[in-house]
Amino acid sequence: MTLRIHNSDKVLRAPQAIIFDTDNTLYAYDHPHTQALAAAESKAVRLLGVDPGEVRNAFAQAREDVKRQLGKTASSHSRLLYFQRGIEILGRKTQLVITLDLEQTYWRTFLAHCELFPGVREFLLALRSSGIGTAIITDLTSQIQFRKIIYFGLDDCFDYVVTSEEAGADKPQEAPFRLAIDKLGIDPAQIWMIGDHPVNDIAGARPFGISTLLRVDRSHEAKGTGCDVEFDDFTELHHYFFSGKVDGIQKR
């Protein structure tokens, strides 16, 4: 697909700041997650002496249990809690050393398989050089999301980072958006939000009057999302933004 503009009134004027989601917006989440979970499960099989199928089922059940217990909060995404609960489901009681080992294995493997989408870094650097503010709103705990941003070498590309741990709630709840807006100190009508999730990112930002851009998978059209723009390529978004079509942005 190519970039699709659904509401030109919202995105033909330059924003003062752009807020980004992280997972599945700046990079593809599924592949590193699959590799990381496989590495953690394999280590659990070795350390606990349990059948691979039992480990897989226990960890899947643990994830459901933790999410049901904690609701839409940062800690509901905690791999540490998933592994702790999974080991307990396997009848091993709480095993702190193994739990920490599995969590470190998961994230070490995850980061080793992460790769930014093409054009992300160039777009962010161009925004910075043009004086456009930047921020992140992302679910999960602060430590691992900070680690991801640093791993990608993007820690100097954002003015502010808001995690759901800091805000006290996951998207699409109001708190993360309100906190990011307060940090930026900018009228929401002058902010764009770029994310991949029609509900968490797009529906969450819309009530504030923020212009919304949905990153979708290539050759996939996200219908009925209410977003102002759909795109699947940051390089194309970059070209559009600096093409002279966005009022207030110098053509490059």
Q: Which residues are catalytic?
A: 21, 23
Q: CA-to-CA distance for 249 and 127, rounded, in angstroms?
A: 10
E strands, the chain, where?
A: 4-5, 17-20, 133-138, 160-163, 191-195, 211-215, 229-231
First-to-last C-alpha distance (Å) of the chain: 24
Q: Say how far residue 165 (Cα) sits from the centre of its chain.
A: 13
Give SS3 for 168: coil
